[in-house]
Chains A and B, each alone.
Chain A
């Protein structure tokens, strides 16, 4: 940073008002889209939960991208800032690897809210009837 060749005079980026308003408008349009998709999707697709979930999450991700890149200014920020912003997202995705465990094994019973016999006994030990 000692020899700041280009940044010494031009300073921070100021996002123009037009860009900010356009982003706000785009976010509202995307919100209307996601509500419309959830309520008025035509029949064959409406009951395809995989498609509907992917669509809802896809729109949410697009909205998140607009907020992070324009409103939070990551698009115009330094590489280090970008690294932190992307790092948070990557960590979040990595954590979802936990789902592999849940999907690939049966649940073990734990004492909980369920009525009836439930137990936290170790694997292969039978719960008392």
Chain B
């Protein structure tokens, strides 16, 4: 009898290893006591974490990215949820067309969205402004929120709303006590996902940041093109930790497979 090698399992393990390997090397490297990137990482020290604090360009960029992502998340979730409600609840004529239109920014490469925004914003005097950057981030986050909310609404039970109306509830109370709580998972995941979309973005920000205020991924991107040292690893580790918190939150609230299951189909 010959030994059967579970090929599928082996390849799957390798692919899983491949996609997480960047993080498996970054975290150990960030604790190195060496002054350069070395393998294997030497000793243990927090020096590269301390050095982040001496670098206002990174700490400022970090705070700026957090603010930008937070504002983007709130505004995009608001706009996207309202649009999804309009599509699903009120049966707008040309529903399919409206949905396609709202999703259309996803079908255009973000580098082109960035270029279009830069050239047009410069023309109308918004070039290099916070408003321009924020608007572009909102644009790329809204389609995801619309899709998440539409998925959430597909299992929405309208009889609950109708029952509340029949019992004499006011429209606002129906919305506040029935509609909103039922939509909470979709809204919460919209918030988290648009936060991450904005916080991770490079390709759109690249064209729209002002020279003195840059986002964190962009600061890392520029720094990496000049120097490669463990400082990048320590900053990256901080971002990885932060992202992991949000990823686990998203998994609890919504489920990552659902998030991406719908994601791939519309492309």
A and B pair up: no
